[in-house]
Amino acid sequence: ENREKDYNEIYSETFRAEVGIRAIGLIYHDHSDDQNSEENVFRLKDNIEYRLFSASHQYLLLLKELGAAELYLQNIYNKNPHFINPNTFPFGNKYFDKVERELSSIFDSIIFHLSSVFDYLSHAICYMYFNNKENTLYWTKLSKKVRGDLKGKFEFCKVLDEVDRKFVGRLYDYRSRLLHNKRDNHNFSSNMNLDDLSFQLKIAASKEVLKHFKMVEENKSSEKQEITLAYLSSWLIKQSFYEIEIILDAIKIDLENNSKFQQNLMKPK
């Protein structure tokens, strides 16, 4: 309901996530015997941070375009009220279709950036845990590995498995649908304030995307509430922050349980 407030919260959380990822990089540097840790962990951190920022910025663009679309429809209505009447165009309202395509394309971009966040996070995890620092994996392969030959070996394995099953795996499945199957058509609706003839635009998330992210439905206070594309975008980014934090907490435990800190004090890198 308050678009500016919600974006400011996400913007702030982006920097908080960066601090958390940077902290884990420093813990790895202190507790590992990797001689190249300082150089490489910050390179990996920068990649994750950039994708988080990109997803958050796309959300800002979505909100801006939402406001611009409302003004656009108001101008169309002022020119000719019949253009906003659904019955005027029996085969689809071209003005509504234009707005839906523009906003859907930004939402898809948020999906792609968030997927990249977890790919870069996976590369960083592999770098910290594997002896062969060149052998890094994308998220989908790492999630299979923690259910396979890595199962039970580290604290992070169980956590990453749970995060993948409840959230990230669904994110990748939906991205795969967008890339290899078809785009989603989201449901357009708008309300007009008769006092000033301004529009309040709502694009409800498609049934297909809500099937992938059933958790978002659990947060609703009423069954009658619709999940809009803007709300779902916000929820996906915030949920990504939450899942990253859980993973970082588990990594911290592993790094301290397998610490080379005393050796590093005796023989600094």
The DSSP-derived string for 187-248 is EEEEEEETTTTEEEEEEEPPHHHHHH-THHHHT-S-TT---BHHHHHHHHHHHHHHHHHHHH
Q: What is the per-residue pLDDT across 8-27, written as a single tens digit (0 to 9) for each?
A: 999 999 999 999 999 999 99
**Pairing assessment for the beta strands 187-193 and 198-204 based on DSSP bridges:** antiparallel
Name residues whose C-beta falls within 8 Å of residue 113's C-beta, 6 or more positions apart in sequence.
51, 54, 55, 58
Between the CA atoms of 145, 236, 238 and 110, what dihedral angle is there, to the nearest 10 degrees? 100
What is the CA angle 77-79-81, rounded to 5? Answer: 40
Structure-token pair, residue 125: 């995890």
pTM, entire model: 0.91
pLDDT tens, per residue, the chain with 269 residues = 799 999 999 999 999 999 999 999 999 999 999 999 988 888 989 999 999 999 999 999 999 999 998 888 888 877 877 666 656 555 667 788 888 899 999 999 999 999 999 999 999 999 999 999 988 999 999 999 999 999 999 999 999 999 999 999 999 999 999 998 888 888 876 565 545 556 677 888 999 999 999 999 886 666 667 899 999 999 999 999 999 999 999 999 999 999 999 999 999 88
State the DSSP code for 89: -
Give yes or no for a contact between 114 and 240, defined as CB atoms under 8 angstroms apart. Answer: yes
> Taking Cα atoms as reference points, which of 258, 266, 265, 260 lies closest to residue 34?
260
